[in-house]
Structure 1
Amino acid sequence: ASTMHPTADSFPQDEEPLIKEPSVNRYSHQKPSDRLHGAYVIFFLLGIGSLLPWNFFITAKHYWMYKLQNCSDQAGPAGQATSDLRDFFESYISIASTVPSVLCLIGNFLLVNKVPASVRILSSLFVMLAIFLVITVLVKVDTSTWTTSFFAITIVCVVIVSSASTIFSSSIFGLSSCFPMRNLQALISGQAMGGTISAVASLIDLMAAADVMDSALAYFLTADIFIVVCIMVYLLLPRLEYSRYYMSSQKEGPPLAAMLPNGSTEDEVEPGSTINASVLAKNNGIPPLRPILQKTALLGFCLFYVFFISIIIFPSLSSNIESVSKSSGSLWSTKYFAPLTSFLLYNFADWCGRQITAWIQAPGPKSKLLPVLVLLRTIFLPLFILSNYQPRAHIQTVVFSQDVYPVIFTVLLGLSNGYLGTLVMVYGPKIVPKELAEASGVVMTFYLVLGLAVGSACSVLIVHLV
């Protein structure tokens, strides 16, 4: 791996490997088609299931506040401690979810060649199901006399669910990297749909003014059902001839001599890279990290920066932008403005951006325009800060003093996040040798999580500076 030095002509044309499906039929018989788009639908559902349970967990904010407020009115240290648990609950949740995610991504990379993807995926799904069943049962349990213990149990559940969800998401992304690009796009698009569904559910709950306990029970039961659906459709995936074709070719692979008849692989990488990477991966059991980082460095930075900017703005900045006509007291300007213009609109625009990549893949992975477009998203920071963000402690100027501005900004933020983020994610596994595609998918997921982690930390600073 240390001798790998990609040359300018060692990469494919920007569009060539991304529009055409992998030419695995060089060493096999006729390539099967995805009948009734079965594999596409399965990856889409797995995408929804990978984030929907966690989205519902966060959406039930009022439930967690209710559960943690029972002792907050007590006098003395006990009441103060519980009040702190409630007031800083989201911060605790963020820490409890982010740190294990990074550690699990590293562990998943090390286990790529040692533990089969099916074992990692199914075990993580069953762990998520078990923990969510515990969370669902606790909804109907009176925890008013042991609030601190309930908080501790919740944090432990968050750590386990976050870890299992990270292993599941990165493993299924790595697996989809061995399929044609449209399946990878389906998975990423499904993740955005999970966010949209949770936003719609939150809005319906708001309109119905349902009991907080009933709402939480509905959220968690839905999460349980979706996890079961994920288990069922994943077990169905290998039964499809189309899926077996790509999964078996990735697992077994052709002889290197067959892969390299003219000194190149399907991705036109240099033969030395493929052979070295393959030998290293098989001998050590751990995928070679250096060649993956060398080839995906620019794409990794782009992915990091896309989600770094997005998480700074959404939801900490965007959800605190108020309607300029809030004083009128209308339902639009008070009750529905933030849920509609921030959460629902952003998630739907994000999903649309990801869907567009199914038809348009430009600019290409080597294009200089790609990082330029990613860096241009920095302009969204001052645009949202200068909207009617409240409360404001330092920057008192509001330049965009009409409700239409944050709506436009949110749509553009969501569209660009979905489109650019998906492009970069699907490009990563396509510019490395095929036997490193799954490991490359895990590495790209690491860039994404790192962007979210650093962005979340910076969002706290930005909010205090406004």
Structure 2
Amino acid sequence: MDENASRGFCHGGRSAIRTTSSPPAADRCSAVYLGMLLCGAGFLLPYNSFITAVDYYQGKYPGSTIIFDMSFTYICTAFVALLVNNILVETFSLNVRISFGYVTALVMLCLVTIFDVSLEMFSSDVSYFVTLAAVSLIALGCTVQQSSFYGYTSMLPKRYTQAVMTGESAAGVIVSVNRILTKSFLSDPRRNTVIFFGVSIASVVLCCIIFHATRHTTFVRYHVGVCRTAALDEDARAITHQVCNPEEVGLVEILDGTVTRDHYGVLVLQSPSSPGPDTPAIPGGRDRSGPEQIARAHETQLKFKGHSYKRHISRWDSLKNGVRRRWAVAKGVWPFMLSIGLAYFVTLCLFPGIESEIVSCHWASWMPILLISIFNFSDFCGKVLASIPYEWPRGRLVFFSCLRIVLVPLMMLCAAPRSSPILKGETWAMLLSMLLGLTNGYFGSIPMILAPSTVPDEQKELTGNIMTLSYGLGLTLGSGVAYLLNLWLGPHLTIDPCLPSNSTTLFANISADIYLLPGHPPGNTSIY
């Protein structure tokens, strides 16, 4: 919700908001649902593009922790961006915040694709830094965008929050298919990576276009308008108390005369008997206009006959009020916050870092790509399952989120010790990756879907933002623990573990026998 346009005042304790009995607009052919699904894909697709190109980056920086570093850089920047976004959510409009994410991702993807991957203009050390810097800036833009999207969809019916979360997983599926195809058809790592990033750039552009088309639909405007009206009513009651309090009358300036419109912090109220030009007046006090007119009426500023009020509140007062509102919301939805935080904490302990360290003598450089792809496909299926209606008790939801922690030691046994893992073979790793993705998709979605339904309409966007903050905290802690798990695995092997165990001894024996051949004096170890 664009809260810049949703600050309201009320005179004499009366709300000037008219109720309507008209039915909501319909989502024809589920067009808005599909649009929100693609929008969800748009803000995670850039990050998924970097980590799914794991074979390229591991080949470019052998023996490094590039995947861990990209994950940790993204998550830490994302967490800081979440904090900043929750503070500044009322400063910039929702459209600006979401567009900022798209623009940032597109610019960084284009720069990396052209200058680093295609032209290879940087040295290895500089390229490493450029890659992490690009990931960090993408995290900044996409996190502001993601948090805003969850606040936005919290004002729509529950299934649209599920659509955005399914879109996040769809981003992983799209990127995985893209990487498998480009690697299969082109053997040159640089060329197939350039094409891979090019497809990702085109996908982000498409998602941006779809978002701007979706937000202008009557369905979206109607539901956003309902929540804006509820927020106006809540603020109107709060400001009425301030106006009637002599000690706080300095916060409000009464302006007689011409009504001022379209100013930040200014809301003009008009009695229902004097409707504005954009508000249809219906005899008998009931609004029987269609969804298009209702949506337009919700979007107009409210007026009050004879006076207008201008609010003067300091930044500090606004910040304190924001913290109080968020704390009040958090006290009601904390089980959902805990559940989603635990779900993503467990996932980031293992994905993508530890999964990229699992070695396969059969699949070689394809192994990390396959594991990441299996996770993405399973995550997508889990989020689709989350659309099936089921009212989870809060305690049970937290319990199952905690239960996923058993996946951490099991997955570690597929990678440790590096020379000879305890759970040998690719089947174990693939099975556990599938289970990790399936449970992440389900238990990472359910809390985000259920939480907004437990609060009033005027608190839905704040709920979406707070849930995203918990989600970010779980991601940050999980990515930090992933480094500790990687340290437990020990240093990378200097000898290929897929070679036969006696290959070194065999080679030494062959070299010794060569010394005895005619024309090979002692000290000449060349076999050519």
Do they fold alike, i.e. is TM over 0.5?
A: yes
Query: Are positions 1:425 and 2:444 aligned together?
Result: no
Q: Which has the higher contact order (CA 8 A, sep 6+)?
A: 1
* Aligned equivalents of 2:87, 2:36: Cα separation in 1: 24
AA at the equivalent of 1:35:
R
TM, length-normalised to structure 2: 0.67
Identity value in percent: 23
- Aligned mates of 2:48, 2:376 — CA distance in 1: 11
- Tell me, yes or no, if the aligned pair for 1:27 and 1:254 is still in contact at 8 Å: no
TM-score (norm 1): 0.76
Q: Is the 8 A contact 2:178 2:199 kept in 1?
A: no
- Residue number in structure 2 paired with 1:194: 171
Tell me the CA shift for residue 40 of structure 1: 0.4
Letter in 2 for 1:301: L
What is the SS of the residue equivalent to 2:212? helix
Q: Which of 338, 345, 348 is matched with 2:377 structurally?
A: 348
Matched residues in 2 for 1:464 and 1:311: separation? 16
- Structure 1, residues 372-421: CA drift from partner, whole Å, max 9, x if none? 111111221232233x424448xx883x5565443333322221111111
Aligned mate of 1:414, from 412, 418, 437: 437
Once the two structures are superposed, residues 198-243 of structure 1 have per-residue CA deviations (whole angstroms, 9 ceiling, x without a partner) of: 2222223343343222222222222221221122111112321111
Q: Tell me how many residue pairs correspond in the alignment.
A: 393
Instruction: Flag the 1:338–1:249 CA change in 2: closer, same or farther, 3 A.
Output: same
Q: Which amino acid aligns with 1:199?
A: S
Contact map agreement 1:322 1:390 (CA 8 A) in 2: no
User: Residue 415 of structure 2 aligns with which residue?
Assistant: 389
- In structure 2, which of residues 463, 467, 476 is the aligned counterpart of residue 444 of structure 1? 467
SS of match in other structure, 1:360: coil
1:128 and 1:402 map into 2 onto residues whose CA distance is: 38
Q: Residue 284 in 1 paired to residue 318 in 2?
A: yes
Q: What letter is aligned with 1:419?
A: Y
Q: Which residue of 1 aligns with 2:349?
A: 312
Provide closer, same or farther for how the CA distance between residues 90 and 38 of structure 1 changes in structure 2, counting only shifts above 3 A: same
Structure 1 residues 132, 169: closer, same or farther in 2, change over 3 A? same
Work out the CA distance in 1 between the residues paired with 2:44 and 2:229. Answer: 31
Bigger shift: residues 427-436 or 86-95: 86-95
Partner SS, residue 253 of structure 1: helix
Residue pairs, 1:24-423, within 5 angstroms: 27-64=20-57, 87-138=64-115, 139-144=117-122, 146-253=123-230, 256=233, 284=318, 287=322, 288-322=325-359, 326=361, 331=362, 333-334=363-364, 336-340=366-370, 342-364=371-393, 366=394, 368-386=395-413, 388-392=414-418, 398=422, 400-401=423-424, 403-423=426-446
Alignment check: 8 A CA contact 1:112 1:438 kept: no
Question: Structure 1 pair 238/407, CA: closer, same or farther in 2 (3 Å)?
Answer: closer
Larger radius of gyration: 2
Give 1:267's aligned residue. Answer: none
Counterpart AA for 2:164 = L
CA contact (8 A) 1:60 1:215 kept: no
In structure 2, give the amino acid aligned to 1:343. Answer: I
Unaligned runs of 5+ in 2: 1-17, 238-312, 490-528
For 2:231 and 2:411, the matched residues in 1 are separated by 52
Secondary structure of the residue aligned to 1:178 is coil
Q: Measured at CA, do residues 310 and 111 of structure 1 come closer, stay the same or move farther in structure 2, by a change above 3 Å?
A: same
Q: CA deviation at 1:48?
A: 0.9
Q: Structure 2 vs 1, CA of residues 403 and 122 (structure 1 numbering), >3 Å: closer, same or farther? A: closer
Is the 1:308–1:454 contact (alpha carbons within 8 Å) kept by the matching residues of 2? Answer: yes
Distance 1:134 1:385 in 2: 36
SS in 2 for 1:239: coil
Shift of 1:130: 2.2
Query: Helix, strand or coil for the counterpart of 2:444?
Result: helix
Structure 1 CA distance for aligned equivalents of residues 136 and 154 of structure 2: 27
* TM superposition shift of 1:117: 0.7
Helix, strand or coil at the partner of 1:31: coil
CA RMSD of aligned residues (A): 3.2
Judged with a 3 Å threshold, the aligned counterparts in structure 2 of structure 1 residues 101 and 385 are, in CA distance, closer, same or farther, namely: closer
